[in-house]
Each structure stands twice: as structure tokens, then as C-alpha cells.
């Protein structure tokens, strides 16, 4: 009859390998003996024993390995000669059980520190790099199309999430550097190193989950919950793939192929979902609104418009109306940006002032009695007041003082 | 392989190379080092595994046989030369110190 088994889903990072070994020792004293790792730590029930386990970090293994490499098995031969029996290996972890009381320590503190700091360092710097790169991309997007980002809560939520993830990655990197320095000092003082958990290791994963959870809830709150669902779907697919790989433990080549193809398929599925669901969103387009100001609010009624394009985007930083009205005998195009934050309007002003037609425009500040007003060579008036910017073009050109007074009143610019 | 910045061998390196002046299976080197040093020097399996790989890479030792995971090595001529230089350096140090500790 088979021995009773149980799977424990407990995770340790490389810096906690001594706590990991202590945990295995503790379980052995309770009668649960570690056998292997698949989707979690698998223990087999037996007699309680005062076993001694050692968990080492093997540099030649890879993060994606689910089973011992030939090099790991060769290393295990040396360890067995030294009094340590090989139990299992996955990723860069190698677990041994002591079989002789006089067993020599497997590695020196310096060697362990080097292997562990290299292994954990890869993860820390890689994640810092990825989150920094995404944050910079978001910043560049904001910079190149400020008005398209600042008035959409969705863009702000996504950019904010990446920025928070970057801050967390940076905090991890700083914590890692402090950890390294502490270890080096202890070694210089001739003190033994113990690679155990500290308080921050416990909240690390929870913080990531909290940030992603806040993002999902925020997107759902603004009616963009479908984005969160696609992201959750991707995450679930990746977790399932990882679970299956961990359970079946294919060799390194097969595992790499599965991860590459699987990752590719998940990305394609996610992009397809974004495209289809995004297309549906565009068809519904909640940004479409009644034009806030029409031709007849300013001048004589030219009749019904033959074509209307009117959208409004709103975020916590303000609102942006864009409208284009075509009449049989007239045309009106305008964009109105409203915000209580001067820096937002500064960014919008920089955006709308790009382009040679504007740069070569004429100053008409006095005519509008505004903070600043420019008439571009393409006949667009770009006008800034305290809390609002107006970008307007119409068939009645050039505008007279009376026209401007009507426009100011219709848009409530003062 | 020497400590590049100092051009000397550490104690474990020295004794591993001494052990490999005769063909020896990798897993037996730990016991041989203990015997040669009369129990004074202990080489852990992690240290040994890493050093054998580096010695082989630097052509200080060479693989003579491989039976599954078990490999045997022997020191090369270049390795013997490194070992001899280290032995002579240590002898010089002993001679220089003998005046003070007679």
C-alpha cells in the first residue's frame, strides 16, 4: 500500500534557502519527509525523524528547470561522497538530506552567498528593468500625445499601475542591495551567514497582488472591466501552463519549447481579445456626446448640421471636448480643454502648439483678452484662459471682436 | 588556476592539485585531501566541483575517464608547473621565516 502523501504550496526565494531547509527539518520531525517538488512540496508520511536537510543554490541550473540537469546530478555525486544524499532539484534549488553525522558542509558561506546573490539578483534586476522600461514607455506616450492620455482615466490607471510596480521593483532592488551589504559585513567579521526570511519577504507577493487588484477594480469602476478580464485571463493561462509544466516536469528542452509556444499563444489570444473587445468598445463609444456648443449658439442658425463628430473625454484631471460640425453653409471645429491644474493645461498647450503652422502663427492675445492666443497659418485660433484652452476654426474667418465675444460667452471661457 | 590578482594558490586549490598528481576520481579527492593534509584541510563538495570545472577550463587538469556521472582527472604539465611554483614559493617563505622562529 502506498505511503500517504501531501502537497504543501509554500514558496521560498533563494535568499531564504536556510529557512527552507529548517522547514523541511521541522516537517521531518512531524513525520513528513520531503520527496520531490512538482506543483508544490510533496511530503511522504513516515516515522518522525530528526533529519537534517540542506538547500543549496546551484548556479549552473536555470530558473525554468523543472528537473535536475546532468550537471546537477554530477554535483550530487560529490555531495553524496561528502555525506549528503540528493533528494530533488528544480529551478536553481537543490535539496540534500544528511546521511552521515560527520558530513562536510556542501559549500562555504562565500560560495553560497555568491550563488544566491547571483540567482536572486537576476530576478531583481530583470523585474526592475522591465517595470522601468514600461514606465518610460508610458511617460513617452504621455509626452508625445499628452492630451490623449491625461483626459482618459484608463490610460492614467494603466500608467499609474506600471509606475507603482516600478516603485515596488525599485524598493526590492534597494532591499536586495542592503541584504548583500549585510552579508558582506558579516563575512568580513567572520560571522556565519544564515539565509532566512525577513519581514519584507512576506508582504512582497501581497503588494504585487494588491496593486494588480486595485488596477482591476479601478478599470471595472470606470466601465473598462473587460481590460482587467483579459489581463486576468492571461495571468490564469500562464499560471495553468506553469502548473502543468511543474506537474509533468518535462526536460529542459521540452519545457523551453512549451513555455515559448505557450507564451506566444497566450499573447496572440490576448491581442485578439483586446482587438475584438476593443472594437466592440469603439462601436459603443461612450465618448460620443451631444456637441456642447453648436453654430447657432454663436451666430445665426445655419440649419441642421450635415455631419457631426462630437466626443468628450474626462478624467480626474479634467475634460476634453472635441467637435466638428459641417453645415450646408458653414463649418465649426473646436477642441475645449478644461482643468483646474495649471500643469495639465501647460501640457495640452505644448501639445497643440506643435506643428509649423502654429509655430509660425500670429499673436492675437489682445484680441481675445486671454492669457495667450495664437492664430496659426492654417486659421486655427489657439486660446488659453485660466482654466480652459480653446482650439477653434470656423468658416467665418477672420473673427471679429463681436465673434470672439459670442464665442467666449457660448463656451463660458471667463 | 591561481588567484589571478595574487598569482598564488589557496590551500584547497594546492591540495586538490597535489591529490591529482595521480589519476583520481573526482569524488575521491575530498578524502585524499584530508589524508594528505592529515585532517587539517577539508574541501566541501561545492568548492571541489567548482574548482575542478575551473581547473579543467584553464587546462591545469584534464579528464581521463568518465563512467556515467563519475569522472577521473589528472594534473597536466601546465598544472604541475603551477603546483611546483607554489611549492617553491611556500619553501622560500619558510626559509625566510626560519631566521625569526629558530
- Nearest CB to A82 within list B44, B70, B71: B44
Q: Which residue has the cell 607554489?
A: B86
Model confidence, pTM: 0.82
- Look at B30 and A104 and tell me if their CB atoms are within 8 Å: yes
List beta partners, residue A88: A95
Question: Which chain A residue's Cα is nearest to B28?
Answer: A81
Distance from CA of A234 to the nearest CA of B (A): 40
B84 Rama sector, left if φ>0, alpha if ψ -120 to 50, beta otherwise = alpha
What residues in chain B have per-residue pLDDT under 50?
1-3, 5-6
- Look at B69 and A73 and tell me if their CB atoms are within 8 Å: yes
Cβ neighbour number for residue A206 with a 10 Å cutoff: 10
Pairwise CA distance, residues B98 & B102, whole Å: 6
**SS3 state at A150:** helix
Pairwise CA distance, residues A108 & B51, whole Å: 13
- Look at B47 and A56 and tell me if their CB atoms are within 8 Å: no
- Look at A77 and B44 and tell me if their CB atoms are within 8 Å: no
pLDDT of residue A301: 84
Distance from CA of B95 to the nearest CA of A (A): 30
Question: Which chain B residue's Cα is nearest to A76?
Answer: B45
Q: Average per-residue pLDDT in chain B?
A: 89
- Look at A106 and B46 and tell me if their CB atoms are within 8 Å: yes
- Nearest CB to B47 within list A74, A81, A107: A107
DSSP at A15: G
A contact set with B (CB within 8 A): 56, 70, 73-82, 84, 104-108, 111-112
B contact set with A (CB within 8 A): 26-28, 30-31, 42-50, 69-71
| pLDDT in single tens digits along all 414 residues of chain A | 568 999 999 889 899 999 999 999 999 999 999 999 998 999 999 999 999 999 999 999 988 888 899 999 999 999 999 999 999 999 999 999 999 999 999 999 999 999 999 999 998 999 999 999 989 988 898 888 898 889 998 889 988 998 999 999 999 999 999 999 999 999 999 999 999 987 666 677 788 888 888 888 888 888 887 887 888 888 888 888 888 888 888 887 888 888 888 888 888 888 888 777 776 666 556 677 888 888 888 888 888 889 999 999 999 999 999 999 998 888 899 999 999 999 999 999 999 998 888 888 899 999 999 999 999 988 899 999 999 999 999 888 788 899 999 999 999 988
Select from A33, A180, A50, A46 the least CA-distant residue to A95.
A33
Distance from CA of B102 to the nearest CA of A (A): 32
- Look at A106 and B69 and tell me if their CB atoms are within 8 Å: no
- Look at A78 and B42 and tell me if their CB atoms are within 8 Å: no
pLDDT of residue A281: 61
SS (H, E, C) chain B: CCECCCCECCHHHHHHHHHCCCCEEHHHHHHHHHHHCCCCCCCCHHHHHHHHHHHHHCCCEEEEEEECCEEEEEECHHHHHHHHHHHHHHHHHHHHHHHHHC
**SS3 state at A51:** coil
Pairwise CA distance, residues B67 & B28, whole Å: 14
Amino acid at each position: 500500500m502506498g505511503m500517504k502523501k501531501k502537497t504543501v504550496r509554500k514558496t521560498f526565494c533563494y535568499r531564504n534557502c536556510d529557512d527552507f531547509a529548517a522547514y523541511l527539518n521541522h516537517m521531518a520531525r512531524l513525520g513528513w519527509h520531503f520527496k520531490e517538488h512538482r506543483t508544490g512540496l510533496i511530503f511522504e508520511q513516515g516515522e518522525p525523524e530528526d533529519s537534517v536537510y540542506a538547500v543549496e543554490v546551484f548556479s549552473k541550473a536555470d530558473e525554468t528547470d523543472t528537473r535536475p540537469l546532468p550537471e546537477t546530478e554530477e554535483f550530487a555525486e560529490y555531495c553524496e561522497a561528502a555525506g549528503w544524499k540528493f533528494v530533488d532539484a528544480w529551478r536553481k534549488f537543490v535539496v540534500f538530506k544528511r546521511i552521515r553525522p560527520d558530513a562536510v558542509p556542501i559549500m562555504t558561506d562565500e560560495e553560497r552567498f555568491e550563488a544566491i546573490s547571483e540567482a536572486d539578483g537576476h530576478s531583481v534586476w530583470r523585474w526592475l528593468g522591465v517595470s522601468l522600461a514600461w514606465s518610460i514607455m508610458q511617460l513617452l506616450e504621455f509626452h508625445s500625445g499628452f492630451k490623449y492620455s491625461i483626459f482618459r482615466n484608463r490610460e492614467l490607471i494603466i500608467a499609474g499601475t506600471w509606475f507603482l510596480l516600478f516603485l515596488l521593483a525599485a524598493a526590492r532592488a534597494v532591499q536586495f542591495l542592503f541584504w548583500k551589504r549585510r552579508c558582506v559585513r558579516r563575512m568580513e567579521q567572520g560571522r556565519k551567514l544564515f539565509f532566512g526570511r525577513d519581514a519584507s519577504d512576506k508582504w512582497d507577493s501581497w503588494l504585487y497582488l494588491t496593486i494588480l487588484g486595485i488596477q482591476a477594480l479601478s478599470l471595472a469602476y470606470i466601465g473598462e472591466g473587460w481590460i482587467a478580464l483579459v489581463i486576468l485571463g492571461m495571468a490564469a493561462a500562464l499560471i495553468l501552463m506553469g502548473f502543468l509544466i511543474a506537474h509533468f516536469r518535462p526536460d529542459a528542452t521540452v519545457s523551453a519549447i512549451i513555455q515559448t509556444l505557450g507564451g506566444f499563444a497566450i499573447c496572440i489570444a490576448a491581442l485578439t481579445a483586446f482587438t475584438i473587445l476593443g472594437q466592440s468598445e469603439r462601436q459603443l463609444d461612450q465618448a460620443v456626446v451631444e456637441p456642447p456648443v453648436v453654430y447657432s449658439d454663436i451666430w445665426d442658425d445655419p440649419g441642421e448640421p450635415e455631419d457631426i463628430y462630437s466626443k468628450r473625454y474626462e478624467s480626474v484631471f479634467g475634460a476634453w471636448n472635441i467637435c466638428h460640425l459641417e453645415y450646408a453653409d458653414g463649418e465649426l471645429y473646436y477642441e475645449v480643454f478644461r482643468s483646474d491644474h495649471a500643469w495639465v493645461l501647460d501640457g495640452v498647450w505644448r501639445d497643440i502648439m506643435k506643428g509649423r503652422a502654429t509655430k509660425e502663427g500670429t499673436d492675437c492675445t489682445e484680441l481675445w483678452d486671454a492669457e495667450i492666443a495664437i492664430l496659426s497659418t492654417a486659421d486655427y485660433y489657439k486660446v488659453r484662459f485660466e482654466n480652459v484652452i480653446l482650439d477653434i476654426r470656423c468658416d467665418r474667418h477672420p473673427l471679429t471682436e463681436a465673434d470672439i465675444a459670442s464665442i467666449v460667452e457660448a463656451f463660458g471661457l471667463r | 588556476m591561481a588567484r589571478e590578482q595574487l598569482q598564488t594558490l589557496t590551500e584547497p586549490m594546492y591540495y586538490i592539485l597535489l591529490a591529482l598528481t595521480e589519476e583520481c576520481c573526482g569524488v575521491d579527492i575530498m578524502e585524499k585531501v584530508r589524508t594528505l593534509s592529515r585532517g587539517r584541510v577539508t574541501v566541501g563538495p561545492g568548492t571541489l566541483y567548482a574548482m575542478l570545472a575551473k581547473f579543467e577550463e584553464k587546462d591545469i587538469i584534464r579528464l581521463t575517464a568518465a563512467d556515467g556521472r563519475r569522472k577521473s582527472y589528472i594534473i597536466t604539465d601546465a598544472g604541475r608547473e603551477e603546483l611546483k611554483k607554489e611549492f617553491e614559493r611556500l619553501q622560500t617563505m619558510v626559509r625566510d621565516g626560519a631566521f625569526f622562529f629558530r
